[in-house]
Structure 1
Amino acid sequence: MVEKSDLTRLIANDPGLVRCPWPLYDVLRTEAPVTFDETLKAFVVTRYADVIEVLKDTATFSSAMASGPSSVTGLAKQLIADPATPERLRAQAERRLKLAESPVLLFTDPPLHKRQRQLVSAAFSPKRIKQLEPEVRRLVDELIDGFIGDGKVDLVPQFAIPLPMTVIATMLGVPPENMDQFKRWSNAFTAGVGAVEQTGEGIAEIFDEVDTFYDYFTAEIERRRVEPQDDLLTDLVEARMAGEEPLTLDEMLNMLVQFLVAGNETTTNSAGMLVNRLAQEPGLADRVRENHALIPTLVEEMLRVEAPVQGMFRVATTDATIGDVAVPAGSVVWLVYGSANLDPQTFPEPGNLDLDGDRAPHLTFARFEHFCLGANIARLELRIAAERLLDRLADIRLACDPAEVPYHRSFVLRGPARLLLTFTAR
């Protein structure tokens, strides 16, 4: 039996709860929709209506710590506070904290957030995203070509990782030979998210990769200033708006970190969860294969029921109330999108995929001020992935018991670490 006290076990990344947090979320929404967790040192908010109210109120609930205390910046603060931290690692942490003094997008509030978003919005315009479609379609088919003759695949490393990673790397002008390094950078920036315990050796490896990322893109930004290219990096360098200062180097570096993580890890997790569901429900796969018009709705419903980011953080700027719970100024708040998306008060029969109805908007891409800039890129990648996998593969099945599919050890980032499948080429 799941109890609300099991929240602490989820925060500690208990494998069973990370795999299936839904019963716990049900209990929390019913018995303790706003509750303080001592391990996380945060108020945990699980109802849709409460999450919406917090997202609306950017004055009371700041985005200064959107990815939480275990992010790279959070780790840097821990290192600086520890007198035993080696000097080299301390210098790396200080570099990160200096960059954190120029927060961007996810970590900013109005009016700074509005300025930054307007400066970069052209890079994510519908026209830009539509131009990506032929390249995404070509890449999807190329990845399927690599395993279709085998009759089996580990979908995560062979498809779900390289698809969004290659797309965002291409957008940033990263050459193909640097793809392995690109993935290591992404891993470094997400390693701490939703993992409250890190070893000293693991932290040192994270910051080595972080430093390499900053060095590489500092040089690339300076190169774009004299040699513009048709890529997202040049868009950042050249972004201008009447009456506003252009982006600083530190702002651009921080934006690149967010594009890297948001454009890579989250879509990887969503692709894995989507195909995992299709493999376990052949009737669903057949229905969508026969009617491609259902694919966009399938993608939205999967983003709802299996949010790749289970929640984001806020900080109370003043004494506040969420629901009927007092939240003191300075408190950290974890908004659990993964629970809010399954709130039966908003989504009848929330665990079912409704491909015919008209659901309320899910919170996977957040809402209002901080709605995800790259949402339509993720939708494009997932739509084409589902379409081409269903067109080219039949009888998609898990090659193991569903209970044996390994998940990432993170209460924030949700997705399979591996997904072994069998299939028949069509």
Structure 2
Amino acid sequence: MTTTHTIPPETGFDELVALEPEARKCPFPTYSTLQADHPIAYSDALNAWVITRHDDILTILRQPEVFSSRQQSGPSSVTALAERVVADDSYPDATRDHAARRLRLSKSPVLVNSDPPEHRRQRRLVTSAFSPRSVDSMVPAITEIAETIVDAAVAAGKVDLVQNFTFPFPMTVIARILGVPEAKMEVFKLWTIAFTRGVGANDLDREQIIELFAAVDDFYDYFTEQIADREREPKDDLLTAVVQSRIDGERPLTEDELLQMLVQFLVAGNETTTNLIGSCLLRLSGDPELLTGLQADMSRIPDFVEEVLRLESPTQGMYRTLTRDYDLAGTHLPAGSMVFMIYAAANRDPEVFKCPHDVSEENDPKRHLSFGRGEHLCLGMHLARREAIIALEALLSRIEKIIPERATTEIDYNRSFILRGITALPVELVAKT
């Protein structure tokens, strides 16, 4: 049995957690060093064991009874932030009330942060809304949204593809699916930013925190009313589907569960898909040969999306909490401790992938962990994949080439070590003639 050892400073992991710009841009050398030399090691910065090998992470994901998901975002989350705000009487009473509401709702864990048997009950109640058949029914609407946004971007010529495509596209899709009217889109954008800002970010200032919880509370107010409305008058949207969901022998979703579920739909259906599409476009903008190849054979786009999911995991990692003592690959993990599974490291494990750091047909796309595995396999993975494919098809069919205005090394990334995505991608789109 090995003894506890701490991640050494020279790995660069502390710089990544501290959100230093160069570490955020390219964390992969750090992941490789950890994987080779410290595959299971303790991080004082996270107060968690950091796990980087593919097989070790699979072992964790396959045992939800041992590795609880109750704190899947760990200490760098909106809920953890709410705990600190409630305990700090220097914040305005309204902000502390908003944070307290978040804490109360978090006591009803849902999907990504719930454990069996509740997780299975919740998933059964909503899984049909995200099935391949349900996603297929959404394709015409998703395609229309993508083509409208792409047409405007191509017509403009010089655009920031993040602000003008990768951000508004998934946001519009999930808003329409949830039945949010066009008039609410600007505030919907604020809600999206609020719920993602606290994930993997440790440096929010006081004003940012106050704004964050005001937006969070506004989200809860709006959807509390919408849930009641769908109970009275069902509509043809996802919100109605989950509100009205009933299965014999299963307790219906409570209002608190529904609100927490909607937060997850917002983040997973928006932020992570935005980041996936942005990563796809960043690679294509820097590789004209790859772009031309995909334009010549659009059937290759799905495999390309899988490789980008692997290489640029939108969710770099997640936490689990030990429900009992456990020995993982010779390392003793005590009950109550947390582990941080770095999916992005596992997705480049040379023991699993032949070309771990490159887009390649040699890699088995079924083995990446970007959507998790087992009990918590991502509910929205079919929708995310389909959105990314439709987005790329819409753009690539309308342009000759993408001319980047900045070098890849000059592109900045989100201020998070958990959610990976670019903040801007200024380019010139050369339309087909």
TM-score interval, smaller chain: over 0.9
Show CA shifts across 1:52-75 (max 9, x none). 101111111000011221211111
What's the counterpart of residue 158 of structure 2?
A: 152
TM-score by length of 1: 0.97
Amino acid at match of 1:383: I
Q: 1:200, 1:411 → 2: CA distance?
A: 21
1:352 corresponds to which of 343, 358, 365: 358
Amino acid at match of 2:160: D
What's the counterpart of residue 3 of structure 2?
A: none
Q: Does 1:412 align with 2:418?
A: yes
Larger CA deviation: 250-259 vs 234-243: 234-243
Alpha-carbon distance, 1:89 to partner: 2.0
1:264 corresponds to which of 243, 246, 270: 270
Conserved in 2, the CA contact under 8 Å of 1:4 and 1:27? no
- Secondary structure of the residue aligned to 1:263 is helix
Conserved in 1, the CA contact under 8 Å of 2:39 and 2:52? yes
Counterparts of residues 3-402 of structure 1 (less than 5 Å): 4-355=10-361, 358-402=364-408
Conserved in 1, the CA contact under 8 Å of 2:272 and 2:315? yes
Q: 2:135, 2:155 → 1: CA distance?
A: 31
- Secondary structure of the residue aligned to 2:324 is coil
- Secondary structure of the residue aligned to 1:147 is helix
- Secondary structure of the residue aligned to 2:348 is coil
Amino acid at match of 1:381: E
- Secondary structure of the residue aligned to 2:12 is helix
Q: 2:363, 2:190 → 1: CA distance?
A: 41
Show CA shifts across 1:168-191 (max 9, x none). 111100011111111110111111
Show CA shifts across 1:100-149 (max 9, x none). 11110000111000000000011112221001111111111101111212
- Secondary structure of the residue aligned to 1:146 is helix
- Secondary structure of the residue aligned to 1:244 is coil
Q: 1:8, 1:44 → 2: CA distance?
A: 12
- Secondary structure of the residue aligned to 2:163 is helix
Show CA shifts across 1:71-97 (max 9, x none). 111111112233434322222121111
Show CA shifts across 1:237-274 (max 9, x none). 11111111110000000000000000000000111110
Q: 2:76, 2:262 → 1: CA distance?
A: 19
Q: 2:269, 2:114 → 1: CA distance?
A: 19
Q: 2:427, 2:60 → 1: CA distance?
A: 40
1:425 corresponds to which of 393, 411, 431: 431
Q: 1:390, 1:356 → 2: CA distance?
A: 24
How many pairs were matched up? 425
Show CA shifts across 1:373-424 (max 9, x none). 1001010110011112111111212111211112111111111100011121
Conserved in 2, the CA contact under 8 Å of 1:4 and 1:24? no
Larger CA deviation: 233-242 vs 109-118: 233-242
- Secondary structure of the residue aligned to 2:275 is helix
- Secondary structure of the residue aligned to 1:153 is strand
Q: 2:98, 2:115 → 1: CA distance?
A: 26
Amino acid at match of 1:377: L
Q: 1:47, 1:4 → 2: CA distance?
A: 19
Alpha-carbon distance, 1:356 to partner: 6.0
Alpha-carbon distance, 1:4 to partner: 4.6
Amino acid at match of 1:136: I
- Secondary structure of the residue aligned to 1:424 is strand
Conserved in 2, the CA contact under 8 Å of 1:346 and 1:360? no
Alpha-carbon distance, 1:10 to partner: 0.5
Amino acid at match of 1:38: D
Identical positions, percent: 45
Conserved in 2, the CA contact under 8 Å of 1:79 and 1:93? yes
Q: 2:387, 2:366 → 1: CA distance?
A: 23
- Secondary structure of the residue aligned to 2:418 is coil
Inter-CA distance 205–347: structure 2 relative to 1 (3 Å threshold):
same
Amino acid at match of 1:223: D
Q: 1:416, 1:379 → 2: CA distance?
A: 19
Q: 2:160, 2:91 → 1: CA distance?
A: 39
Is there any run of 5+ residues in structure 1 with no aligned partner, and where?
none
Q: 1:63, 1:187 → 2: CA distance?
A: 23
Q: 1:221, 1:40 → 2: CA distance?
A: 37
Amino acid at match of 1:232: L
- Secondary structure of the residue aligned to 1:373 is coil
- How much is the aligned-residue C-alpha RMSD, in angstroms? 1.3
Q: 2:340, 2:84 → 1: CA distance?
A: 20
Moved over 6 A (4+): none
